[in-house]
């Protein structure tokens, strides 16, 4: 079961400037930041709210760390904006398998590491009405 909107991923050229926009405009603070070399991103997670299942919803601000990363490619084509949405689930493996059986391309054979030690996978945007869609199981049994 997909139980929440875990985060919305927003691609930007300048992470510090974008963090400052969200802080000064809305009052959102950085909850966590990290570099994910595998994904080729420097990211800041802004915690928006807690959710009924003990998780939370975030904005994930993403700046590419290298030219050949998926986010750099996307920025070059589209400019800054919403890059993907992510649904939270307690069991990303089972969800990915179910969704794959429905004929939607799941991009990874096995989930990879996402922010804050989560396990993540992606669904191809061409099979999801143009929306790059991520599935996330947060560390510590779905709670974060």
CB of 99 to Co ion, least distance (A): 17
Which of 39, 60, 63, 83 does the annotation list as catalytic? 60
Q: Which does 128 bind (CB under 5 to 8 A by kind): Co ion, ligand CMX, none?
A: none
**Minimum CB–partner distance for residue 84 and ligand CMX (Å):** 5
Q: Which residue's beta carbon is nearest to the bound Co ion?
A: 9
Q: How far apart are CA 128 and CA 116, in angstroms?
A: 26
Contacts of 144 (CB under 8 A, 6+ apart): 55, 56, 116, 118, 138
Q: Which two tokens stand for residue 84?
A: 């993907």
Q: Which of 63, 83, 84, 95 is catalytic?
A: 84
In this structure, the strands spanning 41-50 and 30-36 are antiparallel
Footprint (CB under 6 A) of ligand CMX, residues 60-119 = 60, 62, 70-71, 73-74, 83-84, 107, 114-115
How far apart (Å, rounded) are the C-alpha atoms in residues 117 and 138? 7
Q: Give the angle 37-38-43 at the CA atoms, nearest 5°.
A: 55
Q: How far apart are CA 39 and CA 130, in angstroms?
A: 20
Footprint on this chain of ligand CMX (rule: CB under 6 A):
9, 36, 39, 41, 60, 62, 70-71, 73-74, 83-84, 107, 114-115, 120, 122, 124-126, 130, 132, 134
Footprint on this chain of Co ion (rule: CB under 5 A):
9, 60, 86, 134
Residues with a known catalytic role: 7, 43, 60, 84, 134
């Amino acid at each position: 079961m997909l139980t929440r909107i875990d985060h919305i991923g927003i691609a930007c050229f300048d992470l510090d400037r974008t963090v400052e926009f969200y802080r000064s405009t809305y009052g959102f603070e950085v909850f966590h930041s990290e570099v994910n070399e595998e994904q080729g991103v420097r990211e800041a997670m802004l915690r928006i709210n807690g959710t009924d299942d003990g998780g939370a919803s975030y904005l994930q601000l993403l700046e590419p760390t290298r030219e050949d990363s998926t986010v750099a490619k996307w920025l070059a084509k589209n400019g800054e904006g919403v890059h993907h949405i992510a649904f939270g689930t307690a069991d990303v493996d089972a969800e990915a398998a179910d969704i794959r059986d429905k004929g939607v391309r799941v991009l990874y054979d096995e989930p990879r590491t996402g922010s804050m030690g989560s396990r993540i996978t992606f669904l191809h945007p061409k099979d999801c009405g143009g929306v790059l869609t991520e599935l996330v199981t947060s560390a510590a049994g779905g709670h974060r």
